[in-house]
Amino acid sequence: MTTTVPTHVQQQPRRVRPRHYLMCPPTWFDVTYAINPWMDPRLPVDRERAYAQWSALVAAYRAAGHRVDLLDPVPGLPDMVFAANGATVVDGRTLGARFATSQRAAEAVAHRAWHARFGVLYGGRALADPVAVNEAEGDFAVLSSVVLAGYGFRTNLAAHAELAALTGREVLSLELVDPRFYHLDVALAVLDSDTDQVAYYPPAFSARSQAVLADRFPDAVLADDADAYAFGLNAVGDGRNVFLPVGAGHLRDALEARGYVCVEIDTSELLLGGGSVKCCTQEIRPARSEEGDPR
């Protein structure tokens, strides 16, 4: 369902910059193990429904003018639909993933093969194999001036230094303290990477990291408990549109009040695996142009 912002609540014009996403169909999606607090193997999964929800997200991206490439799903890897965890691409430089759990380890191989084959199409400059554990865009949020990097449950602090060395970007480490928000992308959302606009849920972070966020992003949108538990921060922003799961009403209203268009997607079946909109979406960020494109 798409919610259009009434003119009278728009605070400033928002600009869409076309994005390039990599996604993987939930062909083999299932919950046969529990590696996060949201997974329960006792609950049945409706794979057909999951596929329909994922397809609606793909259609919404394409309708907004974004490019979506597809990664072939691999039998026996039920979490491959959560493509955000497979690699991080910044300025055409790609850091592969190294998963914290054995159940997902083989996904990194499939992602590396895709980037090795197709990196030339997006101006790939380098493809680095990780040394430290990192779960890619699950814990890396890329802005124009900085990469926000989560740690505490999955990605190791040492991986933050690897990404900084590969990309030459500042990497700002943020400690996650609530196991329900085990990845940064369920505690913080990038609304507009070009202007460094974010939304986040303060209780997911340590007191020190909350202070860092408040200082660095004084105008951030703050999510409430209901938003966070509905996975509302597992969202994707393109500068104007914010694609987010159904159920985060407070967050939706706050975003609309700031001039964003909220595109709500039903991801209830995918939530059984502990993921939603952002988890399904890996962004391919090409090299910056000579004209100073902030990508």
Q: List the one residue out of 220, 212, 153 whose CA is nearest residue 190.
A: 220
Distances from the Cα of 128 to the Cαs of 96, 99, 131, 176, 196, in angstroms? 6, 15, 9, 26, 26
Burial class (CB in 10 A: 0-12, 13-18, 19+), 292: exposed
Token digits for 83? 């493509």
Q: What Å distances lie between residue 50 and 10, 25, 56, 130, 280, CA to CA?
A: 34, 9, 10, 31, 12
Q: Is 154 helix (H, G, I), strand (E, B) or coil?
A: coil
Q: Which of 111, 115, 262, 279 is catalytic?
A: 279
280 is catalytic: no
- Contact of 196 with 144, CB cutoff 8 Å: yes
Active-site residue, from 111, 183, 262, 280: 183
> DSSP secondary structure string, 204-242?
GB-HHHHHHHHHH-TTPEEP-HHHHHTTTTS-EE-SSEE
Q: Which residue has the tokens 């055409």?
A: 92
Asked if 20 is an active-site residue, the reply is: no
Instruction: Report the catalytic residues.
Output: 183, 279
